[in-house]
C-alpha cells in the first residue's frame, strides 16, 4: 500500500511540474504577442541585444509576471497553500538578498583575478556618456531582479518544493538543478561543461534555499552572479551586452576562462563551485544531515 501511494504521489508530482512549466511558457508567449506586434520592424531591429533597448526589460517583466500568475494559480487551486509554502516571504528579504549577492560577487572577483593573473583577460575602462551609464545600470538592475526572481520562483520555488513533497529532498535538489541547467542549454554556444557548471550552480542554490528555508539568498546570489559577470563584460549563458564602463579583452577559447557561452564553461568555475558546495555541506553538516534524513 505504501509503495502504491508513493508511486501515485511521484506521478502526480511529475505531472504537476510538467504542467506548471508548460503553462508558464504558454503564458509568456501569449503576453509577448501584443508587445511584439506593436512594431515588428522596431522589435526585430533591436532584437534584445542591448540593455538600453526596451525588449530586454519587457522580456524580464513579462517572464516574472507569468511565473507569479502561474505559481499563484497552482498554489491556490492545486496545493491549497500560501506563498510561504515555496519559501517566498518578505521576512528579512533585503538582508538575505544582499548576502546572496555578496557571495556571488566574491566568487566572480576571485574568478576574474585568477584569469587576470593568468593573462586570459584584460580589463580596461571605457567610459561612455554619463546618461548612458545611468540608464545601463538602472535597466540592468531592474531587469535582472525581475528575471532572476522569475527563475528562482520556478526552479528553487515551486519545482523544488513540489519535488520535496512528492519525492524527497535529495531528488528535489538534483532534479530541479537538472531542469535549471536544461533551461539554459539551448542558449548560443552551450556545451556539456556549461551544462555541468550550471547544474552545480543549481545544486548550490537549492542547498542554500533548503538550509535557510528562504528564496531570497539564492535569488540574491543569482542576481549577483549575472550582474557582476555583465559588469565585468563577460558573456552570460551565451548572451553579451554593451558595457559603457568596462571593456574586457576576453580569450573565449580557453577552458580556464570559459568560451563564447561565458565563464560557465570554465574549469576554474567548476572547481570554485565544487569547493563552495563542499564547504557549505561541511560547515552545516549536522544540520544538513537532519534535513535530508527528514525526507519531506
Of all helices (H) and strands (E), which one includes residue 121?
Answer: strand 121-125
CA angle 139, 181, 169 (to 5 degrees): 110
Residue 43: per-residue pLDDT? 45
| Residue 188 grid coordinates | 548560443
Of all helices (H) and strands (E), which one includes residue 268?
Answer: helix 267-283
Residue 38: per-residue pLDDT? 59
- The rounded distance, in Å, linking the Cα atoms of 184 and 203 is 15
Domain that residue 198 falls in: 81-293
Per-residue pLDDT tens over the stretch 215-227: 999 999 999 999 9
The pTM score is: 0.88
Our count of domains for the chain comes to 1
Say if CB 261 and CB 235 are below 8 A apart: yes
Tell me, yes or no, whether 113 lies in a domain.
Answer: yes
Residue 41: per-residue pLDDT? 47
Say if CB 51 and CB 241 are below 8 A apart: yes
Residue 53: per-residue pLDDT? 59
Of all helices (H) and strands (E), which one includes residue 123?
Answer: strand 121-125
Tell me, yes or no, whether 186 lies in a domain.
Answer: yes
Tell me, yes or no, whether 142 lies in a domain.
Answer: yes
pLDDT < 70 positions in the chain: 1-5, 35-55, 285-296
Tell me, yes or no, whether 74 lies in a domain.
Answer: no
Tell me, yes or no, whether 116 lies in a domain.
Answer: yes
Q: Which residues contact 149 (CB under 8 A, 6 or more apart)?
A: 64, 67, 219
Tell me, yes or no, whether 76 lies in a domain.
Answer: no
Task: Write the CA distances from 228 to 68, 104, 206, 223, 261, integer angstroms.
Answer: 26, 8, 21, 8, 16
Tell me, yes or no, whether 197 lies in a domain.
Answer: yes
Per-residue pLDDT tens over the stretch 76-113: 999 999 999 999 998 889 999 999 999 899 989 988 88
Residue 199: per-residue pLDDT? 96
Tell me, yes or no, whether 40 lies in a domain.
Answer: no
Amino acid at each position: 500500500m505504501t509503495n502504491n501511494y508513493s508511486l501515485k504521489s511521484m506521478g502526480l508530482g511529475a505531472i504537476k511540474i510538467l504542467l506548471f512549466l508548460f503553462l508558464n511558457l504558454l503564458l509568456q508567449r501569449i503576453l509577448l504577442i501584443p508587445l511584439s506586434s506593436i512594431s515588428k520592424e522596431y522589435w526585430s531591429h533591436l532584437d534584445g541585444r542591448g540593455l538600453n533597448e526596451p525588449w530586454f526589460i519587457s522580456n524580464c517583466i513579462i517572464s516574472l509576471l507569468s511565473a507569479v500568475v502561474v505559481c499563484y494559480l497552482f498554489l491556490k487551486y492545486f496545493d491549497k497553500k500560501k506563498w510561504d509554502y515555496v519559501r517566498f516571504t518578505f521576512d528579512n528579504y533585503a538582508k538575505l538578498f544582499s548576502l546572496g549577492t555578496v557571495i556571488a560577487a566574491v566568487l566572480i572577483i576571485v574568478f576574474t583575478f585568477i584569469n587576470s593573473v593568468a593573462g586570459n583577460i584584460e580589463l580596461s575602462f571605457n567610459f561612455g556618456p554619463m546618461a548612458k551609464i545611468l540608464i545601463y545600470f538602472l535597466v540592468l538592475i531592474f531587469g535582472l531582479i525581475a528575471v532572476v526572481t522569475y527563475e528562482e520562483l520556478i526552479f528553487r520555488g515551486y519545482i523544488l518544493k513540489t519535488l520535496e513533497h512528492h519525492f524527497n529532498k535529495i531528488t528535489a535538489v538534483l532534479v530541479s538543478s537538472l531542469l535549471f541547467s536544461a533551461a539554459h542549454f539551448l542558449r548560443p554556444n552551450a556545451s556539456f561543461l556549461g551544462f555541468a557548471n550550471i547544474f552545480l550552480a543549481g545544486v548550490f542554490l537549492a542547498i542554500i534555499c533548503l538550509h535557510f528555508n528562504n528564496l531570497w539568498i539564492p535569488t540574491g546570489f543569482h542576481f549577483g552572479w549575472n550582474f557582476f559577470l555583465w559588469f565585468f563584460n563577460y558573456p552570460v549563458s551565451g548572451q553579451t551586452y554593451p558595457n559603457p564602463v568596462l571593456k574586457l579583452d576576453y580569450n573565449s577559447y580557453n577552458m580556464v576562462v570559459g568560451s563564447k557561452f561565458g565563464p560557465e564553461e570554465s574549469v576554474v568555475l567548476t572547481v570554485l563551485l565544487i569547493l563552495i558546495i563542499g564547504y557549505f555541506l561541511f560547515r552545516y553538516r549536522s544540520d544538513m544531515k537532519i534535513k535530508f534524513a527528514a525526507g519531506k
